Amino acid sequence: MINVFIGYDEGEKIAYHILSESIRRNTSEPVSITPLCLSNIPEFNREKQPNQSTDFAFSRFMVPYLSNFKGWSIFMDCDMMFRADIAELWGLRTFKYSVMCCQHDYQPKQSVKFRGAKNEPFPKKNWSSMMMFHNTQCTKLTPDYVNTATGLELHQFKWLEREHMIGNIPLEWNWLVGEYDYNEEAKNVHWTLGGPYFKDYARSDYADEWFDLYYKTTKIDLI
């Protein structure tokens, strides 16, 4: 079973559902998808920060705990869409690593993103937007640690003993729309600046694919 946790934000509910559907339509193996809803994680009591753009900015690091520190789990932001089989991504797991991610190295093209949030550069930016956790090696991520660690400690993987414990995943699995040029080979696209369900980003790269999936998913013939 491929265990997937998707960040859930009250202001982006539709994003969660369309991402889930994109995974379901493309997978060749059974997948368990869990919305990372704050209301269902009583152990997470960290106060929301003024510059926090989503509800799951920090709760994502609860995934190993929620997985009972067993096996592997994938976390991903909700503003994504799979164009390939998630089983291919799952097959990249390498057991010598504690966590695996796409190791972006870029300077943001825009200083503001959706909802007027600041889009500030920092080392390892967007590395944590899609992670494969080797849960047994992430035992430092207890609720107490996640609730009290600084944002940079969490997102820059300071909770690991050594940098080489982070495995690299090809960028095609977290292709940053608006930051990278259009790529037909992108396997998972990420509208990091703002999803096509926001008016200002409705004409972003791959938006036509998102809307096509949206209409296919929400079309219901009632008797």
Closest among 6, 55, 39 to 47, alpha carbons compared: 55
pLDDT of res. 107: 84
Gap between the Cα atoms of 55 and 52, Å rounded = 8
**Domain assignment present for 67:** yes
**Domain assignment present for 223:** no
Q: Tell me, what CATH number does 47's domain have?
A: 3.90.550.10
**Domain assignment present for 44:** yes
Per the structure, the complete domain to which residue 84 belongs is given by 2-218
Residue 33 has pLDDT above 90, yes or no: yes
Average pLDDT of span 126-141: 98
Tens-digit pLDDT profile for residues 47-105? 877 666 677 889 999 999 999 999 999 999 999 999 999 999 999 999 999 999 999 99
User: At which residue do the structure tokens 């938006």 appear?
Assistant: 207
Tens-digit pLDDT profile for residues 155-214? 999 999 999 999 999 999 999 999 999 999 999 999 999 999 999 999 999 999 999 999
This prediction's pTM? 0.93
Closest among 118, 128, 152 to 62, alpha carbons compared: 128
User: At which residue do the structure tokens 């095609």 appear?
Assistant: 172
pLDDT of res. 110: 73
**Domain assignment present for 36:** yes
Number of domains observed in the structure of the chain: 1
pLDDT of res. 183: 98
